[in-house]
Amino acid sequence: MRPDPVAIFEAQRSRLLRLAYRMLGSHSEAEDMVQEAWLRWHQADFNSIAEPAAWLTRTVSRLGLDQMKSARSRRETYPGTWLPEPLVEPDDDALRPDNLTLSLMMALERLSPLERAAFLLHDVFGQPLEEVAVTINRSNAATRQLASRARAHVQIDRPRYPVPRDVGEELTRAFFEACRSGDAARLGAMLAEGATLHSDGGGKVLSYPNVIEGLENLVRLFTGLSRKFGPQMEFLGATMIDGLPGFISRIDGNLQTTALEVEGGRITALYITRNPDKLTGVLMR
């Protein structure tokens, strides 16, 4: 019986979407890219494709490489800090297919498109190096070097102590309450000395265009927000955002997600996404 090409593609769709999102940091662009792969798959000669999964991975990866080059130039003119679209995860940790976190996604942004593709395909999605070399059109030796360079950069940002979901939920609720009440002592106890805040509003809503650093600066910022918006701060739920404990909230009518990077029991980085274009449907994920 001839294999059903639609069934073959649908069996690969979720993996292709994950790969496309990890390459681009955008759900909508990832969906468009997978749709383009579907059109190419639909027009392909199925009898000449020995390994459909490899063919589809190669197609999405090459589309992603083209997209990454243009995305990099767009981000050079992006208003303020750019963050990947928040990946709000299901409650079941077993459904999380890779161990990348939001902070690692930020580290991937510092890689060249070829380094990023080599790292994702080989280290995250488990493709043999030889297949990766074919996909990115480089020699095996060059591909090995690309993956090695990428791995060295990414390891610097890899969280050493993942936070269990229940601990993360308790932490995020406590942090939100400290922000809403303007409890400076509590905030000071929760934040690390060198903590940083990254805020993405896309130039469409109030955010902080530059990274804010230091415990004192962050405590001053959050207590100021409490004085201005405290009664209008609404907690909508704790969750995991790209492997980091986080929560969804609404401040002064604007939806946002906040992800917390934690080390040694203290918050070392906060990633706040407020750009409404990146939050479409976030409550439904």
Q: Could you tell me the residue ranges of all domains in the chain?
A: 1-77, 102-158, 165-284
Sign of CA dihedral 75, 142, 57, 124: negative
Q: Do domains 1-77 and 102-158 have the same CATH topology?
A: no
- Compute φ and ψ for 99, nearest 5 degrees: -110, 25
Write out the CATH class of domain 165-284.
alpha beta
pLDDT value at position 241?
92
* pLDDT-based confidence at residue 161 (cuts at 50, 70, 90): low
Query: Which of 66-80, 114-128, 161-175 has the lowest average pLDDT?
Result: 66-80
Residue 160, judged by CB atoms within 10 A of its CB (0-12, 13-18, 19+), counts as exposed
Whether the pLDDT of residue 135 is over 70: the answer is yes
Answer yes or no: is pLDDT of 101 > 90.
Answer: no
According to the model, what pLDDT value does residue 285 have?
A: 47
The whole-number pLDDT of residue 77 equals 85
pLDDT value at 284 more than 60: no
| 131: its two tokens | 């297949």
pLDDT value for 154: 84
pLDDT digits (tens, 9 = 90+) for 40-95: 999 988 888 889 999 999 999 999 999 998 887 788 889 999 999 998 877 655 44
pLDDT interval class at 227 (50, 70, 90): very high
Residue 283: pLDDT band (50, 70, 90) is low
Q: Rounded mean pLDDT of 204-214?
A: 93
Q: Which pTM value belongs to this model?
A: 0.89
| pLDDT confidence tier of residue 243, bands split at 50, 70 and 90 | confident
What CATH number does the domain located at 1-77 have? 1.10.1740
Residue 206, pLDDT score = 87
User: What whole-number percentage of the chain has pLDDT above 90?
Assistant: 69
What pLDDT, on a 0 to 100 scale, did the predictor assign at position 81? 92
What is the overall mean pLDDT for the chain? 90
pLDDT recorded at residue 96: 58
pLDDT average, residue stretch 185-202: 96
pLDDT at 114: 95
Topology (CATH) of 102-158: Arc Repressor Mutant, subunit A (1.10.10)
